[in-house]
């Protein structure tokens, strides 16, 4: 059957991707999380956050001219841990370790590569993440903010990064590069601070959250708000809304992958539509659902449900330039740009990057567009990024 052939091919591709990933992950770039603090920060919406702090990491060395800086902006469920390991025994390196490191596409022998935890970072309870968000203590009350934390935007993530760079004496980037929600920050950087950004790479990205994307993102927020433990976001003294958060993570996982990936996974677990458990009991689930649930539940432990709501909102409010006119904002861009969407992305479909790239081209920008392949959908931009290593490397050198 054609489907079976497709699945077999998918398995091979996945295997080769994962092998690649393991192979490149063996170079041990040891990294540490650093802390950046601001006494006060004014959000795009005009609210003040006191005693703001975020974590950051860097790979490579800042040169004397301070002109070799590449900023990596992270995706929705990630942190500033883009590359390297915290200890030699660390089993999982940073998410883009395949392209960031000595001699790699983003060569830390040349560049000072830097990444910053966003505000309201999803992994609020991960000891390797430092963030300020609804789960943080409000210094005015001594209690967790909950929903009294102001709405934050992609622009706020950009402005915190800019404050950190300024604090390091940096006045210009060599490039900004990000995947997914990181791509939103990268393109917003290029529109808001064009003199800072000579090169911008958007991976699995978009120029704005259109009506479709905003509604899709809302699907991640809905189960959290339905969880009885959520309590309008004021749950920090009680039970956390982990069922709602687990559901949101299940949705995110599926949105970021593809039928080909799920069906290969199902095949390996001998998944069958006619499983006995769910046939005989409405409260039992098919094995693929249990697999998704258990992985999500495990991941939820270090994450905060309110933080997820705030990241959904930041992503929904995204239009590069944060104005009401994307074309005018893109007209501000001075950077050479590279868009790398994934052909079979079901979350941020390629038309989103294509639209921005086409507009930039019409505006006379030096823009490049190339679709990633592989059967991981949106995650081709994370787990399959090594396929673009040469293109990224060349783009950065020009």
Task: State how far the Cα of 263 lies from the Cα of 268, in Å rounded to an integer.
Answer: 9
Closest distance of CB 56 from a copy of itself, Å: 26
What lies within 8 Å, CB to CB, of 286 at 6+ separation is 271, 273, 275, 277, 278
Task: State how far the Cα of 211 lies from the Cα of 63, in Å rounded to an integer.
Answer: 44
Closest distance of CB 241 from a copy of itself, Å: 9
Cβ closest to a copy of itself, residue 58 vs residue 356: 356
Which residue of the set 180, 209, 300, 388 is catalytic?
A: 180
Question: Can you spell out the DSSP letters for 26-51?
Answer: TS--B---EEEEEEEEE-TTS-EEEE
Cβ closest to a copy of itself, residue 111 vs residue 149: 149
Is residue 388 annotated as a catalytic residue, yes or no? Answer: no
Which residue of the set 345, 356, 357, 388 is catalytic?
A: 345
Task: State how far the Cα of 164 lies from the Cα of 170, in Å rounded to an integer.
Answer: 9
Closest distance of CB 334 from a copy of itself, Å: 21
Cβ closest to a copy of itself, residue 45 vs residue 102: 45
Which residue of the set 97, 307, 378, 386 is catalytic?
A: 378
Output the CA–CA distances (angstroms, integers) from residue 212 to 77, 112, 128, 348, in the order listed.
20, 37, 34, 10
Closest distance of CB 188 from a copy of itself, Å: 12
384 neighbors 374 (Cβ within 8 angstroms)? yes
Cβ closest to a copy of itself, residue 117 vs residue 188: 188
Is residue 378 annotated as a catalytic residue, yes or no? Answer: yes
What lies within 8 Å, CB to CB, of 148 at 6+ separation is 138
Cβ closest to a copy of itself, residue 70 vs residue 296: 296
Cβ closest to a copy of itself, residue 79 vs residue 209: 209
Cβ closest to a copy of itself, residue 38 vs residue 288: 288
Closest distance of CB 37 from a copy of itself, Å: 24
Closest distance of CB 319 from a copy of itself, Å: 4
Written as six digits, the tokens of 168 are 């390091």
Closest distance of CB 316 from a copy of itself, Å: 6
- For 217-361, list the strands marked E by DSSP: 336-340
Using DSSP's 3-state secondary structure scheme, residue 77 falls into: coil
Is residue 345 annotated as a catalytic residue, yes or no? Answer: yes
What lies within 8 Å, CB to CB, of 1 at 6+ separation is none
What lies within 8 Å, CB to CB, of 6 at 6+ separation is 260
Nearest to 135 by CA among 124, 126, 127: 124
Output the CA–CA distances (angstroms, integers) from residue 172 to 71, 72, 198, 331, in the order listed.
10, 14, 9, 20
Beta bridge partners of residue 342, listed in sequence order: 372
Task: State how far the Cα of 393 lies from the Cα of 257, in Å rounded to an integer.
Answer: 26
Which residues are tagged catalytic? Answer: 180, 345, 378
């Amino acid at each position: 059957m054609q489907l079976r052939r497709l699945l077999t091919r998918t398995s091979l591709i996945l295997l080769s991707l994962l092998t690649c990933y393991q192979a490149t992950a063996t170079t041990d770039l040891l990294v540490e999380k650093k802390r950046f603090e601001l006494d006060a920060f004014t959000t795009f919406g005009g609210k003040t956050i006191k005693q703001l702090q975020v974590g950051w990491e860097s790979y490579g060395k800042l040169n004397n001219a301070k002109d070799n800086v590449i900023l990596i902006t992270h995706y929705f469920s990630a942190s500033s841990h883009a590359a390297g390991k915290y200890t030699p025994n660390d089993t999982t390196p940073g998410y883009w370790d395949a392209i960031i490191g000595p001699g790699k596409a983003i060569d830390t022998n040349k560049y000072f590569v830097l990444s910053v935890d966003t505000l309201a970072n999803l992994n609020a309870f991960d000891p390797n993440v430092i963030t300020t968000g609804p789960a943080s203590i409000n210094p005015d009350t001594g209690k967790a903010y909950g929903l009294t934390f102001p709405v934050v935007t992609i622009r706020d993530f950009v402005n915190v990064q800019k404050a950190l760079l300024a604090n390091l004496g940096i006045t210009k980037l060599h490039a900004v590069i990000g995947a997914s929600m990181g791509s939103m920050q990268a393109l917003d950087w290029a529109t808001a601070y064009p003199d800072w950004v000579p090169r911008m790479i958007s991976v699995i990205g978009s120029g704005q959250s259109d009506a479709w994307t905003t509604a899709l993102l809302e699907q991640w927020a809905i189960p959290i708000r339905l969880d009885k433990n959520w309590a309008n976001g004021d749950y920090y003294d009680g039970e956390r809304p982990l069922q709602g958060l687990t559901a949101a993570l299940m949705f995110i996982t599926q949105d970021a992958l593809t039928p080909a990936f799920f069906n290969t996974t199902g095949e390996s677990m001998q998944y069958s539509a006619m499983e006995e458990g769910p046939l005989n009991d409405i409260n039992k689930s098919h094995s693929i659902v249990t697999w998704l649930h258990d992985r999500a539940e495990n991941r939820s432990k270090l994450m905060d449900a309110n933080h997820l709501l705030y990241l959904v909102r930041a992503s929904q409010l995204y239009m590069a330039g944060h104005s009401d006119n994307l074309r005018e904002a893109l007209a501000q861009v001075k950077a050479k740009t590279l868009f790398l969407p994934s052909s079979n992305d079901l979350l941020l479909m390629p038309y989103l990057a294509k639209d921005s790239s086409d507009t930039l081209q019409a505006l006379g920008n030096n823009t490049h567009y190339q679709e990633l392949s592989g059967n991981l959908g949106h995650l081709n931009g994370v787990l399959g990024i090594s396929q673009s290593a040469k293109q990224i490397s060349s783009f950065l050198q020009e």
